[in-house]
Structure 1
């Protein structure tokens, strides 16, 4: 029903953002909410409306290609909106697509909620059908030149942990990457990206 919304970001939480459009606040679930920041400058967010018997939810993306990839993932049996968001939050679509093309089930099962059966279904349903997503999809989101400073526990660090839990990662998985994160002094968005990269290794 909706293609996109243009408005200002009024709130950022570990699970969603709130965008004000003409005095109405829209709750929008996104792969990594902390990519956005509270800003009075209007931005365009591509929207996907998901409807089921007990829920109507809006999912938002930076680009149309990201939205397209999300919709394709939803077509795979065993992957719901939450699982698709976790895959998109990884931020490196080329690796996901390469894993599908190369039938790398080991890589795909590292995503929350993706077991061997679902990974195999992803390959069967999407192999050879995602090339059109790659050129337009924003490239590597991970900053390889991370700031080399010893970090103290911060609000940004705690927000990042909450966002990882919201994506479906267990406390045990998060605990494994926490020591490495504590050595960094990053924004919430950067903490999430670094953590996701380590979780996928």
Structure 2
């Protein structure tokens, strides 16, 4: 498995279906890598400059294909997307291209299927399946990947409040995973951050869990 490649941008080739292939020279070897159009636009200004591309290698019966991304987080999200039933590599790249890393993660966690469905090739049912299968995983992963929403750290409930919230919601029958997901979403509310009353946090969490 090739984790990343560092080399010089030799060429960007547009293929049918809005696909873009990057020719990256590494130690006098040219690698052909399919990349999102977003990344291609950035690299277009860096011809012959040294860049680092995080890669995913796919081995098929008829070919070995490299997909390239701007960051390890973007590459890891691509892998999570392609693990969803019915989501192929091209749809995964289209999702990243259309929404970008941060907005795509937030749309999935918030179950914003309307936004997800704006991606070419993604219908309502596909968007619902993506949100259903990935929302819980990404709610935790986005913090680990350093994708915390601006201001999110400051609005997260303090330890004492968080403990009250968790104990109350556990007593109401919610799982730890559901509670973590709810807290991840409601913590983005800057108004809630100013309220030290755990009951307000609990009400907001229940409202989100009961949506």
| 8 Å CA contact 1:18, 1:28 repeated in 2 | yes
**TM-score where L is the length of structure 2:** 0.60
Residue number in structure 1 paired with 2:24: 19
Residue number in structure 2 paired with 1:39: 47
* Structure 2: gaps (5+ residues): 15-19, 150-211
Structure 1 residue ranges, 4+ long, deviating more than 3 angstroms after superposition: 133-139
| 8 Å CA contact 1:77, 1:118 repeated in 2 | no
SS at match of 1:40: coil
SS at match of 2:93: helix
Residue number in structure 1 paired with 2:184: none
| 8 Å CA contact 1:101, 1:127 repeated in 2 | yes
Deviation at 1:19, TM superposition (A): 0.2
Distance 1:136 1:98 in 2: 13
Q: For residues 26 and 138 of structure 1, do their structure 2 counterparts lie closer, same or farther at Cα, with a shift above 3 Å needed? A: farther
- The structure number with the bigger radius of gyration is 2
Q: How many residues align?
A: 140
| 8 Å CA contact 1:8, 1:43 repeated in 2 | yes
**TM-score where L is the length of structure 1:** 0.63
Q: Deviations over 1:4-41 (max 9, x none)?
A: 11110000123111001122110111112222134333
Distance 1:128 1:138 in 2: 15
Q: Deviations over 1:83-122 (max 9, x none)?
A: 1111111353333223222222221111111122211210
RMSD: 2.3
Residue number in structure 1 paired with 2:89: 81
User: Which structure would you say has the larger RCO, counting Cα contacts within 8 Å and 6 or more residues apart?
Assistant: 1
| 8 Å CA contact 1:2, 1:49 repeated in 2 | yes
| 8 Å CA contact 1:66, 1:137 repeated in 2 | no
| 8 Å CA contact 2:96, 2:104 repeated in 1 | no
* Bigger proportion of residues as helix: 2
| 8 Å CA contact 2:9, 2:25 repeated in 1 | yes
* Structure 1: gaps (5+ residues): 140-201
